Amino acid sequence: MKNETSIPARYLPFGDSALLVEFGNTIDPETNQKVISLDRMIQKTKIEGVEELVPTYRSLLIRYNPLKTDYETLVSHVKTLENTLKKAKLKTESRNIVIPVVYGGEYGPDLEYVAERHGLTREKVVELHSERQYRVYMIGFVAGFPYLGEVTDEISTPRLETPRLRVPAGSVGIAEKQTGVYPCEAPGGWRIIGKTPLKLFNPSWQPPTLLKPGDAVRFKPISETEFKVLVGGQ
């Protein structure tokens, strides 16, 4: 495992106005931390021509204005930053966020399936899902959708073969070892095990999402009554 850190980042062209910096091809906190650190460093440095940064599991997309810079110039700037990053061992602050969830029933129509598939009781699935702390690896798919990882193998479950056309806002799902929350209604194939009354996205917030990459998330089981109170309280 040690030598994985020595895999050099790959610099790849992404059309005529973006650069992709890829740190390996795995989902793990170390790789993701490199992405987040480079993201923050570029934000601080303000490189000429850089317009937008999109951090994901293991890569950073850098969108630039080709009228202000060019691919080669940008690559050399970013490489310099990446090198200082390697030496600096940048630690970035992360926040702890608790997401209340009512599990099962109409709120989590796939809880039963996940339990059955793994020969567990529903209660055990809830316990396993809510006892861990998850890392927000990235926000993607639809507005404010957090990709969280990783659930234990004991409840890791593949996606539905045929995705649902509508998954309600607030639904908490599992896809293989990932878990996530649908911030708005969307089509989707994740196994839905519960629902949160918490709002994860609001276009009038700045920034518009509750979570950001690098944050630590825990799910807290709540009752249907608590759920209704919390929904009413918003």
Partner 1 sequence: MKVFQVLKPGFFTTVQDLGRFDYLRYGIPICGAMDSFSFIVANLLVGNHSNDAGLEMTLIGPELQALSEAQIAITGGTISPRINERDVPMWQTLSIQEDDVLSFGKMESGCRAYLSVRGGVNTPLVLGSRSTYVRGGFGGIDGRQVKSGDVVEGFGASPLMTEYVMPGEFVPQFMRNVKVRVILGPQADMFTEMGMETFLSSAYKVTLEADRMGYRLDGPEIEHKTRADIVSDALFPGSVQVPKNGKPIVIMRDAQTTGGYAKIAVVITADVSVLGQARPNDIVEFVKVTMHQAQEKLFEYRKLLESLERILAKE
- List of residues contacting partner 1 (CB under 8 A): 12-18, 20, 22, 25-27, 51-59, 61, 63, 66-67, 70-71, 138-145, 147, 183-184, 186, 201, 203-204, 207-209
Query: For the chain, what percentages of helix, strand and coil (3-state, to nearest 5) are there?
Result: 30, 30, 40
Question: Parallel, antiparallel, or unpaired for β 96-103 and 216-221?
Answer: parallel
Taking the complex as a whole, the smallest distance from the CB of residue 223 to partner 1 amounts, in Å, to 29
Is the CB of 96 or the CB of 204 nearer to partner 1?
Answer: 204
| Of residues 125, 178, 128, the one with CA closest to residue 150 | 178
| Contact yes or no for 185/168 (Cβ under 8 A) | yes
Identity of residue 176: E
| Contact yes or no for 163/192 (Cβ under 8 A) | no
Taking the complex as a whole, the smallest distance from the CB of residue 38 to partner 1 amounts, in Å, to 13
Is the CB of 114 or the CB of 200 nearer to partner 1?
Answer: 200
Is the CB of 102 or the CB of 191 nearer to partner 1?
Answer: 191
Is the CB of 84 or the CB of 202 nearer to partner 1?
Answer: 202
Is the CB of 115 or the CB of 211 nearer to partner 1?
Answer: 211
Taking the complex as a whole, the smallest distance from the CB of residue 67 to partner 1 amounts, in Å, to 7
Identity of residue 1: M
Taking the complex as a whole, the smallest distance from the CB of residue 145 to partner 1 amounts, in Å, to 5
Is the CB of 71 or the CB of 113 nearer to partner 1?
Answer: 71
Taking the complex as a whole, the smallest distance from the CB of residue 138 to partner 1 amounts, in Å, to 7
| Contact yes or no for 100/226 (Cβ under 8 A) | yes
* Dist. CA 117–CA 131, nearest whole Å: 20
Taking the complex as a whole, the smallest distance from the CB of residue 54 to partner 1 amounts, in Å, to 4
- As given in the structure block, the two tokens for residue 103 are 């599990």
Q: How many CB atoms lie within 10 A of CB 105?
A: 13
Identity of residue 177: K
- Bridge partner list, 191: 174
Angle formed by the axes of helices 29-45 and 71-88, nearest 10°: 120
